[in-house]
Amino acid sequence: MKILLAGATGAIGRPLVPRLVEAGHEVTALTRRPDRVDALDAAGAHGVVCDVIDRAATLAVADELRPDVVMDQTTSLPQHYNARKMWKFYEGMVDLRLRGTPNLIEAAQRTGARIAFQSIAFMYAPGNGDICTEDDPPYERDAPFPWNLALPAIVALERRVVDVGGLVLRYGMFYGPGTHFDTGQIASDVKRRRMPIVGSGEGRFSFIHVDDAAAAAALAVERGTTGILNVVDDRPLPMREWLPAYARAIGAPRPLRVPAWPVRRLAPLAAHWATTLPGASNARARRELGWAPQRPTAIEGFED
């Protein structure tokens, strides 16, 4: 198949490109950075400099390629963030989701391709149990800032993708090479004891190693799957469990504990993740893709 892959040099794109090439697909890999084209070509793809926010350029590439599948694996997250100013962490995503993703959907529609869209599995509303399925509601109402602004837009894009017969891959929190859990800020903060367990630490995190995410995405392309799939590992972990395990794995001191009430006031989104975040089930992805994560939980992954 001919695959137009946007976000080819991101955390998920890097392991995904060689998987698609090894499976025999013709991959046109988009990147915003000219200095990354050679690496894409060396991996067996055809690297093209194209910013998907540029509608004319994106449509021109699609018109020339006539892809069978358009994959939106784009992200734009900074290496540093402030838990009290989380809206700044997502600033780079605004144009990608409001302009870039619609451009890719349009490119898919005008060329008759299927569209696959990267979304998030940590979007479910609390109050529906510890583990949610794709049928449970996202946290669109009464969510803490800036989730109350971001999630309605993401959900609207998801619905548009599904309506045109596309696939939404709701990934868990990425860890592995090129992520914040590798050599990024989370690793740094945990080593400096700047990331505490908040309150009871009952917030349940659904993780996924980037290699396992790439494996699921490659299978989804081949099987022509549509709808929404949670691409997460087998067991969501409460913060009180995964954070000490991660600290041990990277040789950091044991995390501190702090009460929840000041965090709710100063960093409401961080407080939600730490105390009320529900996990996500991967049962549908296992069933429809014949896929299973090689790292059943993040604890095994952290040890690797």
Phi-psi region of 55 (alpha: psi -120 to 50; beta: other; left: phi over 0): alpha
Amino acid 66: pLDDT: 97
Amino acid 87: pLDDT: 45
Helix 13-22 and helix 210-223: axis angle, to 10°? 40
Spans in the chain with pLDDT lower than 70:
76-94
Sign of the four-CA dihedral 106, 64, 227, 300: negative
Return the structure tokens found at 73: 């694996």
Please state the separation of Cα 116 from the chain's center in Å. 13
Q: What angle do CA 71, 145, 234 make, to 5 degrees?
A: 50
Q: What are the structural domains, with CATH classification, of the chain?
A: 2-176+207-232+280-294 (3.40.50.720)
Helix 55-65 and helix 101-111: axis angle, to 10°? 30
Instruction: State how beta strands 69-72 and 46-49 pair.
Output: unpaired
Each residue of 187-202: pLDDT tens digit? Answer: 989 999 999 999 999 9
